[in-house]
Every structure is written in C-alpha cells, then in structure tokens.
Amino acid sequence: MSMKLLILGVSLLALYTIQKYIELRRALQSVQYHPGKVVLLAQNSLLGLILPRIPGVLRGRNATWLDKHQPYAEAGWDIVAYVTILPSPKVTFSVADAAAIKEFTTARVRFPKPVWQYKALSFFGGNIVASEAEEWKRYRKVAAPAFSDRNNKLIWNETLRIMFDLFDNVWGSQESIAVEHALSLTFPIALYVLSAAAFGQKISWKDEDTVPANRQLSFKDALHEVSINCVTKIIVPSWAMGFSAYTRKVRLAFDELESYMLDMISSRRNAEKKAERHDLFSNLLDASAEDPTFTDRDLTGISLYSSLQVTKYTTAHTLCFTFALLALYPEQQELLFQHIKSVLPDGRMPTYEDMSLLTYSMAVFNETMRMFPPVNGIPKYSAEDTSMTITNAAGEKRVLPIPRQTGVVLNTVGVHYNPRYWKDPAEFRPGRFLEPDWPRDAFIPFSAGPRACIGRKFTETEGIAVLTSLILRYKIEVLEEPQFASETFAERKARVLTGKPGLTLTPVRVPLVFKRR
C-alpha cells in the first residue's frame, strides 16, 4: 500500500513538473525567448521580500538596488525578461531603456498602473497613487491646482523658518553639532514643513505638545506617529491592530489624525470669514468644492497620503543621502558653497525668487536622487497584446512582443546607473545636471509622463531651501568614530551610504557633524 502511494505521489509530481515545464516554455515563447533570467519564485512574493538572493530560486530582497545596471549589461539589452515558475509561469519585463520608459509612461491606455497593488495604501481613503482611469482623473483634477506657485512659496518660507529656528534656538552658539544618524535631523525638518505647508499647522523645534480636551494625542504627535508607522498600518490587518500596545498606539494615531483632519475640514468650511490660506490642504478643500461627489474621506485620503509620501519617503531620505554625499566629497561641498555665495554675495538668506538661480543646489539634489532614487521600481502592465521596437547600446533593433497582462517594471535604479546615458554612473558628479543636454528621459525619480509625481515641486522646493540655508552656515563632515579609524575611503563610503528597502530606499545610519562656518 505504501509503495502504491509512493508511486502515485511520484507520478503526480512528475505530471505537475511536466505541466509547469510546458507552461514555462509557452511563457518564454510568448516573448520570443528575450534575454533574461528564470527563477522559481516571484520577487513580489512574501519570501521575495524577506529572503536574500538564492540563485535559480529567488532574486532576493533589495535585488533591484544591489544589481543596478548589471543584469542589462549581461543581457546586452536594456529590457530584460524575468520569468518566474511558481505559482504559475509569468513574464515580467524590467526596463532600464529611456526610450522604452517614455513609451511605457505616455501610452497610459496600453500600459496602465496595476492599482490593486496599491489598495493597502488607501488607509485614509482613495488617492492619486492607488487609482487609475476615470477615478485617477477625478483625483488629479482636484489635486493639481492645489500644488500651486503660492503653495511652493509657502513651502520655501516655512522651510527657512524651520531652519532658522534650528540654527538659532536649537544649535545656538555651538561650533560643532554631532548627530548619530542624519535622518534624526532631516525627518523632523520634513515633518515640520509638512505640517505647516500642507496642513497650515505651524510646529517649531521646542513646541510643547498641547493635547486638546477632546483628544488623546496632539496634532504633532499624531502626525509623527502616522509618518513613521505607515508600513505597520499597511502590513497589519485592521482586525489585528489591537493585539499589542504598539499596534494600538499606531491605530490611535491614525484615528486621531483622521479626526483632526475632519475637524479642520468642518472649521474651514463653516468659518464666517474665510482666511486667506495657501497650504496644500486648504487648496485641496477649495478645489474639491467644485466637485459635489468629492467626499471628506476623499479629501483626507488624497491630502494625507500625497503629503506623507512626499515628506518622509522622499524629502527626508533624499536630504539624508545628500548630506552624506557632501560630507564624503568635500570638494563638491565647497563648489556648492561658492556657488551659493555667488548668488547671495551679501550673505543674506535666499528668497523663493532666488530658487531658479541656485542651479548647483538643484544639481546636487538631482544627483542624489539619481544615485539614490526614492522608489526603485515603478510597476505597469500591458492591457493588450502589443509590441515595442527597442534598440540596444550597439544599435541593434528588436521587436519585443508584450502579451496582454504581462508585468512591466520601470527600473529607476537600472536607468539611473545606465552608462549609456550617464558617464561613470557610480560617481557623485552634480555638474552633469548643469550640462544643457543632460538625459532628461533617463531621470525618473518622480516617474514620468502624465502619472509623474504631483508633489515633485513640493519636494524640490523644500530640498533646495534646506540645502542652501544649511550650507551657507555649516560645513558637513562624516562623524569620526574610533571603531572606524582605520577604514579606507571606499569602506567609509559604503558604510555611510548603505540603504535598506522599504516603501522607499532608506538610509541605514549616516553619522555626521555640522561645523559652523
């Protein structure tokens, strides 16, 4: 009996293996055996998110960041086909070709966004990121006018207010300020700017947290907790949020912040005298008044998710990596300082009108985002059977078949490190962005096309204001620590610039010292 069961089991396994082999051959044939790799498990599976690389089995966590452009160099094409066997054979194209990326991002009907992958991000309601087609157009119509030039100027002014508050009232007369991790500096800066420029709630470094009588958390604490615990809210199902003190605290923060937002909606709508406000939330409130179908939950969803994404998961991390790069490359820091001084020869702090003149500040910020893009991959899929003509670095052409429902990932890291567009891509060279013909289609930290990040100007305005005001007053150096006294420059660079995967690429530990000029 046991032998019969064994034979039956082996037979079923053999049949299953043959079936998977046939399905795999069909998948490979559907893309005409385009160069790439076959692995057992999908990258977006649970194991793919937590396990390291296992050759032939799993590309491994953080694979996109670690591989950079190498898979494309090996394949000879800037589009490679990753074929996974389980749970069923499937092809996903990974793209580091600028011309193809432009087509994928502009042909929205052929290559829409797989919004089902983003539904977990709708914890406050619908938003631009987690929508497509008519629903996306509806959110975009309300959101686009909110990101106005007046709001950008408010962002600039509030950023400088927060930086002056830091310099004068926190750092004071200290000649040298050491920080164990620069994210402990850049995150509150981004959070305070978010609070003021996005929600009209000014916060300073030494504010005492005042909790209203009908609240359990202050607005500042609720916003802070939500900002740092988005991932917990996404991963843990709502029914499990009460199982520990930590998740209960996270749940409370989300509930409190939503309640604050609803109160703000009510008070601003019902105010007898409308105050002139240019914060993002007020702009959204005004714009949504023209759409009677736009609910309060829509308003909280679009404003909170868009703002939090811009703040923690773009600006704070990018500034942290920027400070690290300037500390590692003092000659670039000096070039930046001298350029700022040439724009501001009288030593005054910059105004919003100066921003367009601060070209080297923008170049440094862009070069950081090229080297450390916040999002490593931008997903799309093919809504129909289609094809695309592609050209490799050698000038060879190929018609690439793209079957319906094929996954596509625009590899931000791959195209940003593609030597076809960027000379010596691993080198920190801000000056490349001052060249008139720098490859704009190969720079996609905010995606590209109609679905490019609507908060790009928010991030850039805040980033340039922080960077310029700080460099005017302080030099940045890597913090000297005894345990690393004998390391080489390459070892120091690798240590300080280490990033880990998350919703965006996150700096692990950036120890710096800021010295008064």
The per-residue pLDDT for 413 is 97
Quick check: 309 pLDDT over 80? no
Q: Is residue 423 part of a domain?
A: no
Q: CA 479 → CA 127, 167, 177, 276, 500, distances in Å?
A: 41, 19, 10, 45, 21
Look at residue 235 and tell me if it is in a domain.
yes
**CATH classification of the domain holding 231:** 1.10.630.10
- How large a percentage of the chain has pLDDT more than 90? 53
Instruction: Confirm whether 15 is domain-assigned.
Output: yes
Structural contact between residues 89 and 20, judged by C-beta atoms closer than 8 angstroms: yes
> For residues 216 and 488, what is the distance between their CA atoms, to the nearest angstrom?
50
Q: Can you tell me the mean pLDDT for 441-459?
A: 88
Question: Is 13 inside a domain boundary?
Answer: yes
Residue 350 lies in a domain: yes
Q: Tell me: do 146 and 228 sit in the same domain.
A: yes
pLDDT digits (tens, 9 = 90+) for 56-114: 888 887 889 999 999 999 999 999 999 999 888 899 999 999 999 999 999 989 999 88
Q: What is the pLDDT of residue 121?
A: 62
Q: Is the pLDDT of residue 183 over 90?
A: yes
Are 202 and 270 within one domain?
A: yes
Within 13 Å, how many C-alpha atoms sit on residue 108's CB side?
A: 12
Residue 442 lies in a domain: no
Q: Which of 246, 372, 236, 250 lies closest to 313 in space, CA to CA? A: 372
Q: Are residue 156 and residue 24 in the same domain, yes or no?
A: no
Return the higher-pLDDT residue of 309 and 145.
145
On whether both 341 and 482 belong to a single domain, the answer is yes
Q: How far is CA 237 from the centre of its chain?
A: 23
Residue 402 lies in a domain: yes
Non-local (6+) Cβ contacts of 226 within 8 A are 233, 253, 254, 257, 304, 308
Annotated binding site: 453
**Number of separate domains in the chain:** 2
Which residue ranges make up the annotated binding site for heme? 453
What is the per-residue pLDDT for 269? 76
Is 142 in the same domain as 70? no
Q: Label residue 214 exposed, middle or buried (CB < 10 Å: 0-12, 13-18, 19+).
A: exposed
Do 61 and 151 lie in one domain? The reply is no
Residue 9: pLDDT band by 50, 70, 90 thresholds?
Answer: confident
Is residue 309 located within the same domain as residue 263? Answer: yes
Whether residues 346 and 391 share a domain: the answer is no
- Which domain does 78 fall in, by range? 2-124+381-413
CA distance 505 to 193: 21
With 70 as the cut, is the pLDDT of residue 310 above it?
Answer: no
Q: What is the pLDDT of residues 28-39, one digit of tens each?
A: 999 999 999 999
Say whether both 244 and 268 belong to one domain. yes
Q: Is the pLDDT of residue 233 over 70?
A: yes
Q: Got the DSSP string for 291-305?
A: -TT--HHHHHHHHHH
Inter-helix orientation angle 280-288/296-310, to 10°: 150
Total number of residues shown for the chain = 517
Element (H, E) at 145: helix 133-146
Give yes or no: residues 370 and 386 share one domain: no
